[in-house]
């Protein structure tokens, strides 16, 4: 079936999210026929959806090329911009399905990776003892922007210890702990024998960055390096602290991490306190002010406080 997609002069209908999803599928597959096979549709159905989307948007989405078609720049840009919208629709569909099935008991937690590893298991156990049918949804808020996940009931964040307090509308702020950052080096590294490591001593070292997206913890570290008078020279940049530690262990470079992230170091690594300047971060939780679930959220916050205190004394 020939595909003829031309713009109309007036965009009258609301955009159909299914057609946006099919557009992304066509671009990913590279052709109408391949997208049809991937989606278990007929090529004619895919073509009809794309024709309808072109009418809805008033855009030329595809141009003929020999016996096939090529997506236009407008189609590619539309597909890119549709991605976060479609993720939000997926989230809403899950909410509707939960409500329809009478299983709408959820607690959404947004936090960073080391908090998930060290604190969140106890939080999940605590709240599920209180509500056995509860589903706890946990998502990373560093570096993601939250698209496609539920609005968090608990949002655990990092702040500079000497910075201004951040307050979020609709949330109550609780400070959990202030912790120091440490330098992590291979066991055979000369600095492994030091009791403390001056940050300036790392100036000439290749660094392994665990925060390629410059989230709050990365900004704290870079700010401390500027105070010490240098900018780190990176040998590798990642977005996962465990993978970064593995690279440090193989001798690729050194890194600086919060103590929470190095609670269980392998025998091939050594962590030493950073001084001149001492580098600190403040960990806070923003708790949603929801009267219907206030007791549940309060129990979760209380467990987070207990976990943070345990970490301080470990």
pLDDT tens-digit map of 28-63: 999 999 999 999 999 999 999 999 999 999 999 999
pLDDT classification of 279: cutoffs 50, 70, 90: very high
pLDDT classification of 99: cutoffs 50, 70, 90: low
Q: Are 17-98 and 177-281 the same fold in CATH?
A: no
pLDDT classification of 1: cutoffs 50, 70, 90: very low
The phi and psi torsions of 191 (rounded to 5 degrees) equal -75, -10
Mean pLDDT to the nearest integer, 237-252: 95
Other Cβ atoms within 10 Å of 61 Cβ, number:
24
Range of lowest pLDDT (158-162, 204-208, 309-313): 309-313
pLDDT tens-digit map of 193-235: 999 999 999 999 999 999 998 889 999 999 999 999 999 999 9
User: Would the pLDDT of 6 be above 90?
Assistant: no
User: Would the pLDDT of 103 be above 80?
Assistant: no
Encoded tokens for 158 = 């990092």
User: Would the pLDDT of 264 be above 90?
Assistant: no
**Domain 106-174+285-313 sits in CATH 1.10.1760:** no
pLDDT classification of 121: cutoffs 50, 70, 90: very high
Range of lowest pLDDT (80-84, 179-183, 290-294, 304-308): 290-294
User: Would the pLDDT of 11 be above 70?
Assistant: no
pLDDT classification of 98: cutoffs 50, 70, 90: low
Sequence ranges of the domains in the chain: 17-98, 106-174+285-313, 177-281
Q: Taking the alpha carbons of 140, 142, 148, 152 in that order, is the dihedral positive or negative?
A: positive
CATH class of 177-281: alpha beta
User: Would the pLDDT of 2 be above 80?
Assistant: no
Average pLDDT along the chain: 89
User: Would the pLDDT of 122 be above 90?
Assistant: yes
User: Would the pLDDT of 10 be above 50?
Assistant: no
CATH class of 17-98: mainly alpha
């Amino acid at each position: 079936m020939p595909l003829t997609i031309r713009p109309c002069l007036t965009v009258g209908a609301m955009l159909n999210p299914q057609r946006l999803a099919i557009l992304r599928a066509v671009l990913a597959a590279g052709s109408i026929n391949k997208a049809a096979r991937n989606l278990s549709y007929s090529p004619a159905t895919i073509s009809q959806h794309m024709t309808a989307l072109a009418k809805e948007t008033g855009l030329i989405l595809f141009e003929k090329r020999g016996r096939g078609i090529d997506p236009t720049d407008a189609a590619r840009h539309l597909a890119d911009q549709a991605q976060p919208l479609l993720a939000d629709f997926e989230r809403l569909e899950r909410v509707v399905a939960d409500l329809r099935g009478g299983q709408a008991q959820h607690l959404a937690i947004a936090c960073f990776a080391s908090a998930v590893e060290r604190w969140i298991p106890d939080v999940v156990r605590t709240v599920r003892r209180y509500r056995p049918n509860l589903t706890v949804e946990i998502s990373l808020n560093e570096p993601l922007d939250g698209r496609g996940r539920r609005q968090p009931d608990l949002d655990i964040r990092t702040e500079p210890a000497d910075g201004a307090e951040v307050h979020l509308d609709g949330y109550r702020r609780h400070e959990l702990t202030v912790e120091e950052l440490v330098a992590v080096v291979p066991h055979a590294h000369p600095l492994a024998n030091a009791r403390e490591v001056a940050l300036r001593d790392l100036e000439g070292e290749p660094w392994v960055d665990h925060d390629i997206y410059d989230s709050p913890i990365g900004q704290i570290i870079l700010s401390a390096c500027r105070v010490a008078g240098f900018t780190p020279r990176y040998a590798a940049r990642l977005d996962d602290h465990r993978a970064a530690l593995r690279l440090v262990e193989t001798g690729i470079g050194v890194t600086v991490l919060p103590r929470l992230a190095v609670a269980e170091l392998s025998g091939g690594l050594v962590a030493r306190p950073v001084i001149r300047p001492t580098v600190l971060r403040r960990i806070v939780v923003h708790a949603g002010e929801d009267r219907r679930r206030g007791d549940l959220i309060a129990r979760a916050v209380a467990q987070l406080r207990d976990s943070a205190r345990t970490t301080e004394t470990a």
